[in-house]
Amino acid sequence: MTALRAEIDALDRQLIALLARRHALIDRAGRIKAAENLPARIGWRVEQVVANARHNAAAAGLEPDLIETIWRQLVEAAIAQEDRQLKGRQDDRHAD
């Protein structure tokens, strides 16, 4: 059991590293959206990301409903991250 727990812990570290990479990509998306005057929430893209996650989950033998729940939380966190970034850009423009 000790070896299995160590393997799970190592995998968790890898997942966190991947989430950190995703976070950095969301920052990039926020900068692009600010430059192009786009909103943080783009409804069709949210649904596309969730549908992709469901499809990938099913292909990997995972429960699509569970993955959808997790991904919707992940996407909402990303939208909030972009909103903060977009709000910061607006505040910077008003400071001039």
pLDDT recorded at residue 88: 80
9-47 confidence digits (pLDDT tens):
999 999 999 999 999 999 999 999 999 999 999 999 999
Domain at 21, CATH number: 1.20.59.10
Yes or no: say if 49 and 76 are a contact pair by the CB < 8 Å rule: no
Is the predicted pLDDT of residue 94 greater than 80, yes or no? Answer: no
Tell me the C-alpha distance between 30 and 16, whole Å.
Answer: 21
Residue 71 has pLDDT above 60, yes or no: yes
State the Cα–Cα distance between residues 61 and 22, nearest whole angstrom. Answer: 23
Give the domain range for residue 67.
2-95
The Cα–Cα gap between 16 and 55 comes to 22
- Residue whose C-alpha is closest to residue 7's, from 24, 15, 90: 15
Task: Say how many domains are in the chain.
Answer: 1
